[in-house]
A and B are shown apart, each in its own frame.
Chain A
Amino acid sequence: MIELINNIIGNIHSSTPMIRWLVYVMVIVISSVIVLSFALLYEGFATYAERKVAGDIQARIGPNRVGPYGLLQFVADGVKLLLKEDIIPFYADKWLFIIAPYIVFTASFAAFVPLSYSDHVYVANMNVGVLYIIAVSSVVSMAILMGAWGSNNKWSLFGGMRAVAQIVSYEIPIILSLLAAIIIPSSLDMKDIILYQSGGLGIFRWIIFNNPFTLLAFFIYFTAAIAEVNRTPFDIPEAESELVAGYHTEYTGMRFAFFFMAEYGDMFIVSAIAATLFFGGWQIPFINGVAMPLWLRETLQVVVFLTKIFVLIYVMMWIRWTLPRLRVDQLMELCWKYLTPIAFFDLIGASVWVLLFNGKGVYDILSALFVH
């Protein structure tokens, strides 16, 4: 984003420090507002999409009253939540109770920052992008526990304890499976990872097709990611039938909406990581983008990137409306007895592959065979 602004307003590095600072602050504020409005709009439509997908799968229609095809349902829901009474329980720890939703939402939103939407459209190009996302999204578990403890409610506390146990446990297979993908381009930078996956018709050099271990790593990552964002079949922190609503039982109105939006924001983040690390990010498949004008290429890249993310989000919704909820012990068993050992095995396998084939993927090896 800064690079893009640089191109527009000329070389700001030659200006006086005062103007430089002003421009940087402006850029930061504007890009935050753009990403925040994008995130909120996406979250609104994601709630609509969730209900539509649920309706489809359950042979219902879903929301279709507000606006064409019910598309404005999320606006109506938002207005309703804004107008709701804001209840803070009398015996709640008010400070923790009030601050928890903001931290959840901030942590979820902060993970939008290092994402690379296209060649030049990004907020911040960090050289530790993946690490940053993992670190920032871990704050969510803290905030969930804060809200759960602050509510002074048994269901909230149970839900919060489950959430923390689950998120902390599932971070291990997530990080291990991401490592298996990261060692291929050997970079934590989102843009470097995507640039590594260029070529091969924009599909065959995706890291998921690099070797069998990265293919397995994707499935481990995706399973663990669903657990990380507390979605069915791993939604025991908010299990409706047992815990009313889990950690956000006592929350009303907009405070509840923050938790709700954070869930959809997290879905976007984990799908974006999967799209970046495994599915080539914004690499346009089948079309050579070099010959295109810049604006067309950038737009196409953003569209391709978002399409990959939305397909993954659809899969998450599809899984949610298909599978029943796991028991707590089953959840822990899945994590510690299955996903973690397999992820370790996978990481070792991927490392050995990189050593043996000098970092070349299956496509590179096969194409080298046929060309020579």
Chain B
Amino acid sequence: MTENSKGYFKKMLDAVKSVFTGLGVTIGYGVSPGREVTQQYPEVKREPYDRFRGKLFVDINICTGCTACARICPVDAIVLKTVRDENKKLRPVVFDIDNARCIYCGLCVEACPVDNCLYFRKEYEFSSYSKDELISHFGLGELPQPDKPAADRPSPDMPAQAGPAKDQPVQGKTDETRKEEGK
């Protein structure tokens, strides 16, 4: 038997062997049901991992109004406007998060000096028919002091500005400066 004919038969044997090896792998899946990894999405929902970055949420009651998140946001998704209340504390009057702009980078969460104030929730189903619906409003609203002159605090219909705004001295203060001011 020459080398050539040996190669011929070896090739044949290899082909048959490899075909049956492949078929042996797939038949295990083919005959035994219940090995599907597909999840039927609307009925069965996958529980996201702990570090999953879903919808951004802020616990507005412990927010110090430091605007660190608004300043670090690379896409200006956070609009934050604060005023001082009677205790000289910063009050986040407007805290809008535009989920359509958010890129889920997590910089704001890292920048937030208060624990569990600004964080990602596991919620991921918030599609809507318009971009306006995607903006979540967390702001506490204006102070309930009608006797106070309106000029002292920012006008509610003034367009909200994102990031460090120079014309508003209360914005852009860090936690430390706020503490110093409180002394």
Q: Which of B58-105 contact A (CB under 8 A)?
A: none
Whether A338 is near chain B, meaning CB under 8 Å from some CB there, is yes
Mask, B2-33, CB within 8 Å of A = 1, is 00000010001000000100110111011101
**Cβ A59 vs Cβ B19 within 8 A:** no
A61–B22 Cα distance when bound, in Å, is 21
Contact-residue size bin, chain A (C-beta under 8 Å from the other chain): 10 to 19
Q: B21: nearest residue on chain A (CB-CB)? A: A322
**Cβ A58 vs Cβ B22 within 8 A:** no
**Cβ A61 vs Cβ B38 within 8 A:** yes
Q: B35: nearest residue on chain A (CB-CB)? A: A59
Q: Which listed residue, A57, A61, A323, A338, touches B29 by the CB 8 Å rule?
A: A57
Question: How far is the CB of A235 from the nearest CB of chain B, in Å?
Answer: 16
Q: Which of A53-90 contact B (CB under 8 A)?
A: 53, 55-61
**Cβ B29 vs Cβ A56 within 8 A:** yes
Q: B40: nearest residue on chain A (CB-CB)? A: A61
Residues of A within 8 Å of B8, CB to CB, are: 337
Q: Which listed residue, B19, B25, B33, touches A56 by the CB 8 Å rule?
A: B33
Whether A319 is near chain B, meaning CB under 8 Å from some CB there, is yes
Question: How far is the CB of B42 from the nearest CB of chain A, in Å?
Answer: 11
**Cβ B38 vs Cβ A322 within 8 A:** no
Residues A57 and B36 in contact in the complex (CB < 8 Å), given A323-B19, A338-B12: no
Q: A324: nearest residue on chain B (CB-CB)? A: B22
Mask, B34-67, CB within 8 Å of A = 1, is 0111101000000000000000000000000000
Q: Which listed residue, B12, B26, B40, touches A57 by the CB 8 Å rule?
A: B26
Contact-residue size bin, chain B (C-beta under 8 Å from the other chain): 10 to 19
Question: How far is the CB of A224 from the nearest CB of chain B, in Å?
Answer: 14
A129–B19 Cα distance when bound, in Å, is 32
Residues of B within 8 Å of A256, CB to CB, are: none
**Cβ A319 vs Cβ B37 within 8 A:** no
Whether A318 is near chain B, meaning CB under 8 Å from some CB there, is yes
Whether A321 is near chain B, meaning CB under 8 Å from some CB there, is yes
Question: How far is the CB of A154 from the nearest CB of chain B, in Å?
Answer: 32
A20–B37 Cα distance when bound, in Å, is 61
Mask, A247-273, CB within 8 Å of B = 1, is 000000000000000000000000000
Residues of A within 8 Å of B33, CB to CB, are: 56
A53–B36 Cα distance when bound, in Å, is 12
A205–B37 Cα distance when bound, in Å, is 44
Residues of A within 8 Å of B22, CB to CB, are: 322-323
**Cβ B30 vs Cβ A318 within 8 A:** yes
A59–B8 Cα distance when bound, in Å, is 36
Question: How far is the CB of A67 from the nearest CB of chain B, in Å?
Answer: 16
Mask, A321-363, CB within 8 Å of B = 1, is 1110000000000000110000000000000000000000000
Residues A60 and B38 in contact in the complex (CB < 8 Å), given A318-B23, A322-B22: yes
Residues of A within 8 Å of B23, CB to CB, are: 318-319, 322
**Cβ A322 vs Cβ B40 within 8 A:** no
Question: In the complex, which of the residues A53, A57, A60, A323 has the most CB atoms of chain B within 10 Å of its own CB atom?
Answer: A57
Q: B20: nearest residue on chain A (CB-CB)? A: A322
**Cβ B36 vs Cβ A60 within 8 A:** yes
Residues of A within 8 Å of B19, CB to CB, are: 319, 323
Interface CB pairs A-B, < 8 A, 13: A55-B36, A56-B31, A56-B33, A56-B35, A56-B36, A57-B29, A58-B29, A59-B35, A60-B38, A318-B23, A322-B25, A322-B26, A323-B19
**Across chains A and B, which 9 residue pairs bring their CB atoms closest together, nearest first?**
A322-B26, A322-B22, A61-B38, A57-B26, A57-B30, A61-B36, A57-B29, A56-B30, A60-B38
